[in-house]
Amino acid sequence: MPHPLTWDARLLARVGRLPDTPADVWLRRLSRAADHGVLWTGLAVALGTRRGVPRRAALRGAGSLAASSLLVNAGLKHVFRRVRPDMVGVAPTRALRRTPHTLSFPSGHSASAAAFVTGVAMESPRLGAALAPLALGVGYSRVHVGVHYPGDVVAGMVVGGAVAAAGQHWWKVRPTAPARVRPGRDAPALPEGEGLVVAVNPLSGDAHHDPAAEVQRLLPRAEVLTIGPDAGVTELLTEAAASGRARALGVAGGDGSVAAAAAVALAHGLPLAVVPAGTLNHFARDVGLLTPRDAVDAVLAGKAVEVDVAAVNGTPFLNTASLGSYPEMVARRDQLKGRLGRWLALTVAAAQVLRTGTPVRMTVNGRLIDAWILFVGNGCYTPRGLSPAWRPRLEDGLLDVQWLRADLRFGRTRAVLATLLGIGEHARSYAQFQTTELRVVTRSGPQQLAYDGEIGETATRFLFTKGARLTVYCSRTD
C-alpha cells in the first residue's frame, strides 16, 4: 500500500495538471493577499468599525489568528520540518513572484484563515458563513500556486479551527439564548403605548441617537419624559405612578437607569418596559430584549416575564453590586477593551488597579476575610473570577458572592495570571459561595458601594437580600 504522503503528492500533481483558466490570476492574487494575515487584518478593521457583534467577532477572529500563527510558525513547522513541493513544474500563470522558503507543514495561511473565520463564526454564525468560502479559497490557492501539499492545507485548517475553538476556555462566547425566567402573568396590553409612562436618559448609549424620539415614534400614545438636572428617573416615574395615570412604567437607558426604574415599579406594583438604550444593556440582554422593537412588541401584546430582584440596604439592584476595587477595574477595562479586546483588557486593568489598591477587611456572614474585591450578583454569574458577564438564570433565588482574596502570598499576581490563563474559577485566589441573604461589615472603615453601574452609599454595614420579583414586558415564549 502506498505511503500516505504519496497520495498527497499525487493530488498536488493532479491540481498542477488542471488547464489554465482566468481563475489562475485571481487565485494567485488571493494567495498573496493573505500573506502575513493582511487580508484578515483588513477584514477585522472593517468589522471593528461596527459596534456590538461585528466588533466582538473581529476581536475574536484577530486574536485567534494571532495565536494560531504563533503556534504554527514558531512551533509546529519546526516539529514536522516538511519541505515545500518542487516548484519546477508550476505554470508561470500560477507561480508566485517570490517563492516562500519556509517549512511547509502545516500551512500557515490556511491556519490563519481557519482561525480568523472560526473566531468570527463563534460570535456571529452568519458572518462566519459568509467568510467561510473566502477561507477555503485561500487554502486551495496555496495548493493551486504550488507552494503547499493538500495535506499541509488540511492540517492548517484543522489547527486554526481548533485554536479558535479552544479560545472559548479563556474568552467565553456570550450565549445567544437569554437567561431562564419565570413565566409572568400577562401585563396589560397597551395599544400604541397608551397608559405607559417612559423615562428616557438622553445621555445613555450612542451620543448621536435620540432614544426619546424613537420611543415616541414606536409608541405614539405613550407619555415620554426626558430626565434632566431637576428630575431623574426616580422622580419622573414616582410622580407618574402616584398620580394614577400610569398603567405601566418604562425606561430607556443604561443599567443604572433601569435599576432606578425597577425600584419605582416594585414600590407601586407596576410592570416595567425596558427599552435597551445604554452602552452595555446587561439586564436587557440577559432577559432577551436586544432592540427597542423587542420591548415595544411585548407592550403591544401584553406579554411579560418575572425576574428576581436583589437589594442592598433596601435599595434594589438587577445585576451586580460590589465593594473594593472592582468598579475602578471595570472602568479601566472598558477604556482598554477597544484596543486590546475584553480578555486582555481585563488582565491589564486588574494588574494596574490591584498594584495600587488597598485590601478591605470585612466579615461576610460572620466570616472574617481580607479581600481586594467583593462581588455580589443578582443570580449566579458566569464565567467565574474577575470577568462575570452573564447569567444562565434570572430566577434562581440566589445571591452570587465572589471575592478576590488578599490573604494569600502573591495573591494579586496569582489573580492576574489566573485571569490571563482563563483559570480564575479554579484558582485559589478566588473564593465564592451562594446564599439568599448576605451581611457584610467592613473593618477597614466606610466603603463605597457600586451597583448596576452606579455609585451607591458609603457605609460599614451592608445587608444584601433576595425575594422581590419584577414583572418585565417581554414577548418570549420559552
Fold of 4-169: Vanadium-containing Chloroperoxidase; domain 1 (1.20.144)
pLDDT mean over 307-321: 94
Let me know: does 391 contact 320? Beta carbons within 8 Å.
no
Within this chain, domains 4-169 and 320-468 share the same CATH topology: no
- Say which residue, 208 or 451, is predicted with more confidence: 451
Predicted pLDDT of residue 414? 60
Identify whether the C-beta of residue 262 lies closer than 8 Å to the C-beta of residue 272: yes
Distance in angstroms (rounded) separating the CA atoms of residues 250 and 237: 8
The mean per-residue pLDDT over the stretch 154-158 comes to 93
pLDDT tens digits for 163-200?
Answer: 999 887 767 777 767 778 888 777 899 999 999 999 99
Give Cβ neighbours of residue 8 (< 8 Å, ≥ 6 apart).
Answer: 149, 150, 151
**For 260, left (φ over 0), alpha (ψ -120 to 50), or beta?**
alpha
Bridge partners of 405? 371
- Angle (deg, nearest 10), helices 53-71 and 38-48: 160
Q: pLDDT value at position 3?
A: 45
Helix (H, G, I), strand (E, B) or coil at 271: coil
Average pLDDT on 323-348 reads: 68
Residue 42 half-sphere exposure toward CB, CA atoms < 13 A:
7
Lowest mean pLDDT, pick from 125-134, 299-308, 424-433: 424-433
Residue 29 has pLDDT above 70, yes or no: yes
Task: Please say if the pLDDT value at position 142 is more than 60.
Answer: yes
Burial class (CB in 10 A: 0-12, 13-18, 19+), 21: exposed
C-alpha grid cell, residue 213: 424620539
Mean per-residue pLDDT for 448-456?
83
Can you give the pLDDT at residue 261? 95
Residue with cell 436583589: 310
**Domain 187-302, CATH 3.40.50.10330 — does that match?**
yes
At residue 420 the predicted structure's pLDDT band, cuts being 50, 70 and 90, is: low
Share of the chain above pLDDT 70, in %: 83
- Show the DSSP H helices in 288-371 as ranges: 292-301, 326-340, 342-356
| Residues shown for the chain | 478
432: left (phi over 0), alpha (psi -120 to 50) or beta: beta
The interaxial angle of helices 108-123 and 53-71, nearest 10 deg, is 150
Query: Fold for domain 320-468?
Result: Tumour Suppressor Smad4 (2.60.200)
Q: pLDDT by residue (tens digit) across 32-77?
A: 888 888 899 999 999 988 766 788 888 889 989 999 999 998 889 8
Per-residue pLDDT averaged across 133-142, rounded? 92
Provide the whole-model pTM: 0.69
Q: Which residues, in sequence order, are CB contacts of 298 under 8 Å at separation 6+? A: 187, 273, 289, 304, 473, 474, 475
Three-state secondary structure readout of 134-196:
HHHHHHHHHHHCCCCCHHHHHHHHHHHHHHHHHHHHCCCCCCCCCCECEECCCCCCCHHHCCE
Q: What is the pLDDT of residue 1?
A: 36
What are the structural domain ranges in the chain? 4-169, 187-302, 320-468
Does residue 473 carry a pLDDT above 70?
yes
| Burial status of residue 88 (CB atoms within 10 A of its CB: 0-12, 13-18, 19 or more) | exposed
Average pLDDT over residues 96-125: 88
Q: What is the mean pLDDT of the chain?
A: 84
pLDDT of residue 192: 93
